[in-house]
Each structure stands twice: as structure tokens, then as C-alpha cells.
Amino acid sequence: MVDVIPIELPLWLVSLIVLMLVPVSAAVVLWLRRVANDRNAPGEERDWSAPSFSNGGGASLFHRWDVRCKIVTILVYSFIVASLEHLTPALAAVGISLVILVVARASFSKVVMRLLAIIGFVGMFLVIMPFSVPVHHEDTVLVLNGMDRFAFNLRGLHLAATIVAKAVAVTLLMEPLLSTAPLPVTLHGLSRLGVSEMVGQMVLLSYRYLHVFLHEARRMSSGMRVRGFRKRTDLETLRAVGNFLGMLFVRSFERTERVFDAMKARGYNGRFPEPVELRLQAKDLVLAGIWLAVGVALIAG
């Protein structure tokens, strides 16, 4: 027998609660985005050719950790977190991730931006799952007055909260993984773990010159606006946008040729020089063992 808890609420009150939650949620998202933008605002013109990817100059425990050990440990721990089935250990994983962020001295703005990237997706679980999860024996279901077809299953809310907590915990771990070592060092560690060096080179060059590509697009777009271009729903706008995209790709291809010629002039022969010499020490293995033991404890708990 299903345990049903009736709640006598008029529809106008339910609608009012929903309408109040929407602007509050939007205000929180806008505030977080504003804080992230303020903290990430550069004091001078940005160097688009070499975008900052990490705070590799830090001196935290994670900055000194061997990058190979760090990659393997965090990825294995992330899979452990993803396998959790209950809300309590999932919330504990979120707490552990927050502690790790403090220890790693991660950038607050980058953490906020990572959370904003997933909040729209995972937030839908909290909205949909309480109404879509099948009712099982001994489930607690809230039935609103006049809305019997939209029973609110608390088990569905529990499952959704577990999924959201696991997603947040794993997302928070990406900052210590990626921001505690320069990107070339991280890719070098991946190559030492068996990933193809060519893949690492493609990722490195794509990341660097994607920013140059975007900068060129912004510059060309600004030039079009200065010359009086305004977007409209007509054939002339489509023709202008087509010319814009064509010229953008032509310039990008020309820049690619110049970059490759410059790389060959500097001795590039298909391999980049190793950015650092990786040395695995006993303390790196000890830290990895402690972290994985915490993950096993979460599963056991």
C-alpha cells in the first residue's frame, strides 16, 4: 500500500509559489555569473595567443602532486562517486570536493562557471523526476489539491538530489585536476599514461588557437558594426553573414599555415619537447592511496 500524504493547497497558491521560485532561481544564477565575471575580469588586455588555463604557480599539495598519479586518482575517484546510490554519501562527496578545492586553492570564479555550465541540465532532474518516477510500495507521495494526476513522489526527489549531488561533486573535482598544472604538463602526463602524443598535440593547439579564432571573429564583427551592419531577417544579412564566415575561415587557414611554418622554423619535427621531467615519488602514491581509500569508504558507507 502506498503511503499518500494529501496536502490541501489551492491551485492559486501553488502557482504563486512556483512563480516566486522562478525569479529567485534566476536571481541566484545571475548573481553567481556576475561574481564570476567580476573575479575573472582582467586588469589589462587579454593575451589571446596564450590563454591562461591554470594557476600553475601555486604551492598547494595538488600543485606538487605528480600529474600522472593525480589524473588516475581523480578519474578513478570520480567513477566511484558516480557509482554511489544513496544521498548521504553523495552529499559527503560534495563536502570532500569542497575541502579539496580549498586545499588546492582553486579559483572561485572558475568553480562558479563550471557549476553554471551544468546547473541547467541537472536542475531539470529536480523538476521532472519527482513527477515521473513510478510509485513503488511504501513510497511517500504528496498529492496537491486539484492536481491528482501530478503526484509528487518523494523517492523521485531523493533520487534526483542524489544525481545532482554526484554531478556537483565530480564537477568540482575538475578544477583541481585541470588548474593545478599547466595544460602542456597535464597532456604530457596523459601521454606518459598511454594516450597518443598526437592527440595531446591536437588538444593543445586546438585550445590555444580556438581563442585566437574567437578573437578574430570578435574583431571582424566589431568592424562590421562600425560600418553600419545590423542583423535583419533578409537576404542581405544572410549574404553578409556568409561572407563573414568565409573570410573568417580563410584568415584562420592562413594563420594556421603561418603558425606551422613558424613551428618548423623552430625545429618542430612532429613532437613537442617535454615540458617537465616527471618523477613518481612515494608521497604521490601515499596520497593516491589515501584518496582512493576515502572513495571506498563512501561506497561502504
With b for 16 or more beta-carbon neighbours within 10 A and e for fewer, the 66-84 pattern comes to bbbbbbebbeebbebbeeb
Question: Measuring CA to CA, how many Å separate 243 from each of 25, 165, 202, 217?
Answer: 41, 46, 28, 12
- Between 4 and 11, name the one with better pLDDT: 11
Task: Inform me whether the pLDDT recorded for 187 exceeds 50.
Answer: yes
Cβ(156)–Cβ(135) below 8 Å: no
pLDDT for residue 191: 87
- Structure confidence at residue 72 as a pLDDT band (50, 70, 90): very high
pLDDT tens string 114-168: 888 888 888 888 888 888 888 777 767 777 666 667 777 788 888 999 999 999 9
Percent of the chain with pLDDT over 90: 18
pLDDT for residue 171: 92
pTM of the model: 0.74
